[in-house]
Structure formats: structure tokens, C-alpha cells
Structure 1
Amino acid sequence: MTEPFADGTSFRKEVRTWLADHLAGEFGALRGLGGSGREHEAYDERIAWNRHLAAHGWTCLGWPPEYGGRGLSLVQQVIFHEEYARANAPAGVNHLGEQLLGPTLIALGTREQQARFLPRIKAVDELWCQGYSEPGAGSDLAGVRTQARRDGDDWVIDGQKIWTSLAHAADWMFALVRTEPGSRRHAGLSYLLVPLRRDGVEIRPIRQLTGTSEFNEVFFDGARTRADLVVGAPGDGWRVAMATLGFERGVSTIGQQVGFARELAAVVAAARSNGTFDDPLIADRLATARLGLEVLRTHALRTLSGEPSPGADSVQKLLWARWHRELGELAMDVRGPDGLTVGPGYGLEEFQTLYLFSRADTIYGGSDEVQRNILAERVLGLPKEPRG
């Protein structure tokens, strides 16, 4: 592999060339598949593509070499995600394992946990989902009520998770559960690694506005996981969960923004094609969207390259979620009355899927209201919101 250079030119050429050579034949047919609201598209084929990436050293780029990664610089990771998105490569299937759990285990896991799980994450042999949200505690993570109790060498889990992305396709879940009876809020929580293909686990897909079922309900009824599959100490789950959330808004957001740029370009092209670009209001909104995308990129790069700034993750989530939701609204306005009808069998076209899925952007991953409370209370030092 090419050694890093200050400007990244050689590495960018390497990534671009590799993608052009390998996104061909059967893999070439996967270009553009699996985006937001379309996670079901060619799922098995996309797993094969992700394993192909792994076999050629294109997974876990930022992991340290001693944990099986390539130890690439921040610049190189950004370049890879940019080129991957620009190549219109298919959406990955291993984000939760590679970008969230893997770094969490590297930072806080035991050697045994690292040896057991990291190689399988890197090879895309085991897929993961995140068990945080619950009914009545969707964005209030400290309000989780799913319980786990020790029974010999196992944890026994009872409760329910909801809005669990891709649980129906996952082998394992990293879950925040309450392990100290009578504890409240941040205390008494533990971060468990839970096998899903076992007795005591039921997964029910949730049908969404897009007609797909990325999200799921997961029910635990006496489900078991080994006692040593707790990350950090029992009762220290809040700290571990916060570490995972920090990794969630990492370098892959740059690739996300390149995908946003591709969506915006499609909206601009449609506006030029159907004449709505001549409407001054539409033209102004398109220009505002372009400027907003530059703000997203600048903020992300500043956050990634500098010292950690309190509240930066919350600001990033607020920026991209609102921007993307407004892009969905703009896309439908450009589409006009034709966007109000769907094809046979609820066949949604591109802008309709974008609009419907982006309605959830300001809710999932931490709602706007929660992010604003975090900034108000933890950054600005304002009084905490009253709780009933």
C-alpha cells in the first residue's frame, strides 16, 4: 500500500484506481444501492462486496495495526470515504461493528473481547446492531429499563429495545441495560454484548413510511449472554455508551456528506430539467443548500482535526439532520405535483424516498431536542430541564 503523503494525492489516486477496477462486473451492478430508506437493496450481494473490501485491506482503516487495522491517518481516512462516496459505491453493511463497536472495544474492551470480536468485525463475518432506544426512552438514553441479572456465568436479560437498525440481519447487539435493581438514570447501567440468534430473543421488523423495515423491535425474555461479555465494569455502562456515541460521529461523516452532495446535485439537475430552477425562490433554496453543505464539511473537518470540543458532536448532528430534512422538502417542491403520486405497489421514486426517510433525521441518533439540551446544560451551563 502507498505510504501517506502530506497532500494525500497519491493515496487518493490509489483509492480511486482500486474502486474503479473492482466496482466492475457483478459488483458494478451494486453502485448506488442501499442508501437511506433502501437498506434492503441487494443485501446479500453488498455483504459479499464488503467482504471483498476486507480481503483487500479496505476495512477498519483507522484501527491501530496491532488490532488488525491499517492505522491510516485522518487525512487518508477522509480521502477514502470521499472517494468511496464519489464512486457511488454501495452502502456498507458493517458500519455499527466497524465504526462504533470496534473502536469501543479497542479503547475499553478486555484482551479476550478484542481477540474474540475484532477479527470477525474486520472480516465482516459477524454483523452488529445497537440496542439503546426503548419504548418511553427513545432519546432519553438514561431512562432505559431493560434489565439484566447475574445467574452463575451468565447475564439473563428481560426487556425491549426499539428502533434497532438492521437487528433482523445482525448476529450480535451491543446493548445498554440496567444491572443494578433500583438504580436510576445514569447509575447502574451496563454495556453488554448479546448474541441475537438464541432462545429468548424475538425480533419484529417495523414497517416505515418508505415501505421498508430497517428498524426493528427486539424483545428479550430470559435471553442469555456470558458474564464476561460486559464492556467496562458492571455499572459503568453510561461511560462506555458515551464513548460509542463519540465514535458514531467520526470520520465516516465526511463520506456521508459526499453522499449528500450527490443527492443535492440530483435535485439541481431535476430543477434545471423541469424549469423550476427559474423560480427565484427555488434557486435561492438550492444556493442555500449548497452553502449549508460547505458549512457541514468545514465543521466536520475542524472537529476531526482539532482538540475535542465540548458539544461539537451535538452541533454536527443538529447541522446535518436539519440540512438533510430540508433537502428532502426541497426535492419534493422541485418534483412538483408529480411527486404526490406513487407507482404500483407503493413504488417510490428517488425524491419521494429521500423526503420520507429524511423526516426521521432530526429524531434518530439523538433528537434535536436532546442535542439542544446537551448543549444548554453541559456546554452553556444552563439549568437542567425539569423532569417529571
Structure 2
Amino acid sequence: MDLTESAEDRAFRAEIREWLGDHLTGEWAALRGLGGPGREHEAHDERLAWNRLLAQHGWTALGWPREYGGRGLSLWQQVIFHEEYARAEAPAGVNHLGEQLLGPTLIAFGTPAQRERFLPQIVAVQELWAQGYSEPGAGSDLANVQTKARIDGDGWVIDGQKVWTSLAHLADWCFVVARTEAGSTRHRGLSFLLVPLRQDGVEVRPIEQLTGGSEFNEVFFSGARTAADMVVGEPGQGWSVAMGLLGFERGVSTLGQTVGFARELDSVVARAKDNGAFDDPIVRDRLARLKTELTVIRSFALRSLALVESGPGDRTPQVAGADSIFKLAWANWHRTLGEVAMDVAGPSGLLARRSDDQVASSGGYDLDEHQRLFLFSRADTIYGGSDEIQKNILAERVLGLPREPKGS
């Protein structure tokens, strides 16, 4: 990827900075820095309103083709937007799963009727989505899905359980991988269904986290229904659709993520200078190493995005390898940052303030930013594809090593 910005790109960057500077004021200024992993409970309704303001001004679905309501921006222009958005500390979005994952999947695999029904609502942030992949016995091993669906009259009936379902308690719809062929095993016989969550037969139970929030959920389907035409792709061929969706998961927004990481690192450095921990040469060395590694991760992210620019259909070993290496790199870097943050905090990092806030945990404590960073970053190497799965992908698909034996 050529990282030299053209005059057009520089003008686009200036346009974004100006727009954010003009609009992140007044009532919106209070939203700066809110939301994101481990903090999704923060000002959700206000962030939803902000996202709808973005939509009104054409700042959603940036990479989607114009015929589907997007901006049709180049890969590099999308990177510019997400970097500037992060630098402005604009609030985290509320419909990443709809805009970044389902929308591109419907464009690639959906029917014209499905695109017409759902894409405008995603662009306008009028319907929120959740992802129904993981189950108690099918986390990283998605092919072990046991949730079942069968045709009954003019619709599908769904029975089963999903877990770690991000933001399901706030979502209107869920895209669900379910087994629709009796007796099928592994990746065969699965279908990719679009299921409304606000109905009888769906129960959402939030899972309380160490950080005090509850952005993950268990979702129980007990005779839940969706229309017969709410299957993306052919029935029984849902595995290919599900894998196509995962190709969109680590997209251009990850470059904004690295900007956020840099801001977190700066806050840890500032704390180290304030409390004297920076005088320790070992601490300085660890902080310098983190800064250097983050620069390398950003450069690699740009390279990996260039590899996938041709689209989700290009799943060459190099593309799959780039996705996995990037996930391994940022997840372990961020977890290490959390550990260093606690070392910098020293004994005070073990103390939490008592709180009566409704969003605090049942233990009645409130966390500072570095405590929350430490606790939530422990999950980074698990969600979105665990380290073990990423290493297996690299070993099998890139290095050509024998596949890991499957249990009986």
C-alpha cells in the first residue's frame, strides 16, 4: 500500500477534522471518549443519537458501494476517517455488527429483497444487530453449532442457545448460525438466518463482567420464529456465508483501534511520570517497547488491509495469515499494556472506590481507566478468535502443517 497521501486525501482528512470539530461540541462534547469494549454501558442512548447524526451527514457505511447507500470511499480514505475519528475521541459506535459485518455480508451474499429490507436501516442506524455464533459448546469451534432451526409453514422455528452475544440486550435483530439439516455434523447442514430478537421465544440474559458492565449476553431461543426468506445464501450452505462475514471482521476500523491504543499508552506514561514509576529504567524500557511494538502493529495492519482489499472472496493463505497475525499481535500487545498499567499504578491499582452507581458491579465498586483496561484486556486473546485458533490457522493454512486431530 502506498502510504503517501494525495492532495485529495489530505483534503478529505481536513474535512473530517473540521466536521468533528464543529459537531463534537455542546451536548455532544460530553460523549468524547465514551463507549467501546468494556464500556458499552456508557451513554448508549446518547451515542445512538450521535450515530444517527453521523448517518444524516453521510458518515456511515463509508466503504459500501453507493448503490447500497454507502459512500464508496477508497480503502485509504476509510482508514483516514477512522484515524481522525479516534483522534477526536469521538464516542464509540453502537452498530458495528450491522455496519461492518452484516451489511457487507448481505451485499455479497444476500438477495435483492434482503438488501432492500435491511441495508437502509443499517445505514441510518435505525436497527441494531447482534451476532449469534458462539455457543456453550461451540466457541472458537464454530462448526460444532447445536442450535437448530426447521421450516414450519411460512417460517423457520429456532431452538437453542447462544452465548457471549455482544450487545444482544440492545439489538433488534441477530444473525444466527443454526443447524437446519437433521443428522448433519461439523460445517455441513448449517444455515445463516436473520432473526428478530424482540419476540416471544427469545430470552436475553446479560452476563456481568469483572469490569461491572454487561455487554455480553446469553440468548435462548425457544420456538423463536423468522420468515422463510430470512436465510442468507442457500439453506445448508451457511458455513460459507459465516466465513465470508468473518473476512470483514478485521477491517479498516482496526486502524482507529491502534490510535485508541496509543492514547491508552500515553495515559499510562503520564501516570508513570506523575507517580515516579517512570524513574525506574525497567518501567521505561517496557513503555518504550510498547510504543515501538504499536508502531510495527499499525504498519502491519496497513499491509494486511492491502492484502484483503480485493474482497472477502480472496481467502488466500497470505490473507488468512495476515488476519491471524494481526489479531495475535494487537490482542497480546493490549493485554501486556494492561499488565504494565497495573505495575505503574503500584499498590493503588489494587484499590477500587465504593460506588452506588447502577452500572457498577454487584460488589459495589467503581474502576479507574487503568483497572478497567487491565481486567477487560484479559479477554482480548479469547474473543474474536482465541490465540490457539489463530495459531492453528497459521500452522495449517499458511505453513501447511498437518491439521490438529479432532476428538471423537
The answer, yes or no, to whether TM exceeds 0.5 is yes
Q: Which runs of 5+ in 2 are unaligned?
A: 309-313, 355-363
1:331 equivalenced with 2:351 (yes/no):
no
Could you tell me how far apart the structure 2 residues matched to 1:379 and 1:44 are?
A: 44
Residue identity opposite 2:371 in structure 1: Q
What's 1:199 paired with?
Answer: 200
SS of corresponding position for 2:293? helix
What's 1:362 paired with?
Answer: 381
What's 1:299 paired with?
Answer: 300
How far residue 154 of structure 1 moved from its aligned partner, in angstroms, is 0.6
Retained in 2: the 8 A contact 1:36–1:354?
no
How far residue 186 of structure 1 moved from its aligned partner, in angstroms, is 0.8
SS of corresponding position for 1:311? helix
Q: Deviations over 1:260-281 (max 9, x none)?
A: 1110110111111111111111
Retained in 2: the 8 A contact 1:202–1:218?
yes
- Correspondence list, 1:144-183, <5 A: 144-183=145-184
Q: Deviations over 1:119-160 (max 9, x none)?
A: 000000000000000002111111110000111211100000
Could you tell me how far apart the structure 1 residues matched to 2:290 and 2:87 are?
A: 19
- Correspondence list, 1:8-157, <5 A: 8-157=9-158
Could you tell me how far apart the structure 2 residues matched to 1:70 and 1:297 are?
A: 25
1:316 equivalenced with 2:302 (yes/no):
no
1:374 equivalenced with 2:393 (yes/no):
yes
How far residue 336 of structure 1 moved from its aligned partner, in angstroms, is 0.6
SS of corresponding position for 1:149? strand
Retained in 2: the 8 A contact 1:318–1:371?
yes
Residue identity opposite 2:100 in structure 1: Q
Residue identity opposite 1:321 in structure 2: A
Could you tell me how far apart the structure 2 residues matched to 1:327 and 1:186 are?
A: 37
Q: Deviations over 1:94-116 (max 9, x none)?
A: 10000000000011100000000
RMSD between aligned alpha carbons?
1.1
Could you tell me how far apart the structure 1 residues matched to 2:173 and 2:378 are?
A: 28
User: Runs of 4+ in structure 1 displaced over 3 angstroms?
Assistant: 4-7
What's 1:281 paired with?
Answer: 282
Retained in 2: the 8 A contact 1:5–1:11?
no
Could you tell me how far apart the structure 2 residues matched to 1:306 and 1:52 are?
A: 33
TM-score by length of 2: 0.93
- Correspondence list, 1:237-248, <5 A: 237-248=238-249
Retained in 2: the 8 A contact 1:172–1:196?
yes
- Correspondence list, 1:199-218, <5 A: 199-218=200-219
Could you tell me how far apart the structure 1 residues matched to 2:8 and 2:55 are?
A: 25
Residue identity opposite 1:201 in structure 2: V
How far residue 77 of structure 1 moved from its aligned partner, in angstroms, is 0.5
Retained in 2: the 8 A contact 1:162–1:217?
yes
How far residue 330 of structure 1 moved from its aligned partner, in angstroms, is 0.7
Could you tell me how far apart the structure 2 residues matched to 1:305 and 1:244 are?
A: 18
Question: Greater shift after overlay, 302-311 or 370-379?
Answer: 302-311
Could you tell me how far apart the structure 1 residues matched to 2:87 and 2:382 are?
A: 27
Percent of paired sites with the same residue = 72
How far residue 379 of structure 1 moved from its aligned partner, in angstroms, is 1.6
Residue identity opposite 2:179 in structure 1: R
How far residue 310 of structure 1 moved from its aligned partner, in angstroms, is 3.3
Residue identity opposite 2:24 in structure 1: L
Could you tell me how far apart the structure 1 residues matched to 2:170 and 2:321 are?
A: 33
Could you tell me how far apart the structure 2 residues matched to 1:208 and 1:223 are?
A: 27
Could you tell me how far apart the structure 2 residues matched to 1:239 and 1:347 are?
A: 43
What's 2:361 paired with?
Answer: none
What's 2:253 paired with?
Answer: 252
Q: Deviations over 1:325-371 (max 9, x none)?
A: 11111111111100001001211010000000000000001100011
Residue identity opposite 2:343 in structure 1: D
What's 1:186 paired with?
Answer: 187
Q: Which runs of 5+ in 1 are unaligned?
A: none
How far residue 5 of structure 1 moved from its aligned partner, in angstroms, is 4.4
Could you tell me how far apart the structure 2 residues matched to 1:141 and 1:325 are?
A: 25
Retained in 2: the 8 A contact 1:148–1:156?
yes
Residue identity opposite 2:241 in structure 1: V
Could you tell me how far apart the structure 2 residues matched to 1:67 and 1:59 are?
A: 12
How far residue 384 of structure 1 moved from its aligned partner, in angstroms, is 1.4
Retained in 2: the 8 A contact 1:97–1:121?
yes
Could you tell me how far apart the structure 1 residues matched to 2:7 and 2:195 are?
A: 42
Could you tell me how far apart the structure 1 residues matched to 2:237 and 2:398 are?
A: 23
Could you tell me how far apart the structure 2 residues matched to 1:320 and 1:138 are?
A: 20
Q: Deviations over 1:177-235 (max 9, x none)?
A: 11111111111111100000011000000000001100000000000011111111111
Q: Deviations over 1:283-334 (max 9, x none)?
A: 1111111111112111110111235623211111111111111111111111
TM-score by length of 1: 0.98
